[in-house]
Structure 1
Amino acid sequence: IDKEGHILTNYHVIADARQVEVTLHNRKKYRAKVVGTDRAHDLAIIQIDAPGLTPAVLGDSKNLQVGQKVYAIGNPFGLNGTLTTGIVSSIRSVHEPDGMAIDDAIQTDAAINPGNSGGPLMNWHGEVIGINTMIYSGVGQSAGIGFAIPINTAKAVLNDLVTLGRVRRPALGVRTIPIDPELADQMGLPADYG
């Protein structure tokens, strides 16, 4: 996403990794460090130290249209640098297998398979409009129903992930405590539990 080597991917891609390695299109491999994670959005930022990087252009997912042509790039089944094409089939909210919701997920029929997660979904201008995240399939491979996290969702949290390593979320500032008979008596409450 920038010349400093920050890379946007899915949280589930790096979540259990003891070590993260990135292979560029020129087949050079780099060890990456995890800079920030956001499990709630299934996003992560990793960073490599590589010279001469050209960052991807982050587009706008707000005005996507059903029927619009899209391209998915990834490494399905270890086949590096695979490009598949399809259309935006729908924009809908879906739940990942772990129950996390993706609001306004981009549904596509571009072939997305194991190994595509964390890769870009691009428009015909070559701009990243989504992060390929999951498929609906009974057999664990593409059935023509894939989903991407909208890039606008990612852009909303990128700065926090890069600078803080996490996403700042608002807090209500309220704390609850159980009421026992002693506290109820001290506060003059009619109930001695709750």
Structure 2
Amino acid sequence: MTNRFLCVLQMELEALRSIYEGDLCFRELSPVSFQYRIGENGDPKAFLIEVSWPETYPQTAPVISMDAFFNNTISSTVKQSILDKLMVEVEANLGTAMTYTLFEYAKDNKELFMENQPVNTVTSASNSIAIGTPDVPASKKKDKKEQLSKTQKRKLADKTDHKGELPRGWNWVDVIKHVSILKLSFFNTEKICKK
């Protein structure tokens, strides 16, 4: 690798770090490998692209992968379609720094990339597509409540109303009592000072 290519890589690395600083979608795995999540976290059509630079990058194409666990719900045909469209963009940008360009191209064309991805599909680890059923929880787990003794329950019932809420003003300060205590302490310190 020549000095010129090292300089280009270093400049692209610094540019990526400054552009995506604070962006939760961007992740630097190593100085030559990056991930970017296209779409919001809960979006069923969101996907993750991983770009790795080989030794001869940018003269040769970067390695683009969609094998991350995040992409398990995406069908293999849609993944291949996305990779093919990204490779067309790579061919157009060979010889230049293109990681930012690839991420932005994917962000701009997210809807086009994911148009063939069915929303209600479930894919297995081998990426074979199966039609899913509506969201039905496998088992209903009840939250365990803290077990209270009879005396604890009685004390709690005495403090709260029939809804289990504390009465209005339970933590209020009695202003008259508070002022009278302050007044007494003020006069006591005044008497001590005069003696």
TM-score by length of 2: 0.19
Greater relative contact order (CA < 8 Å, ≥ 6 in sequence) = 1
Please say which structure displays the higher CA radius of gyration: 2
TM-score, normalising length: structure 1: 0.19
Structure 1 or 2: more helix by fraction: 2
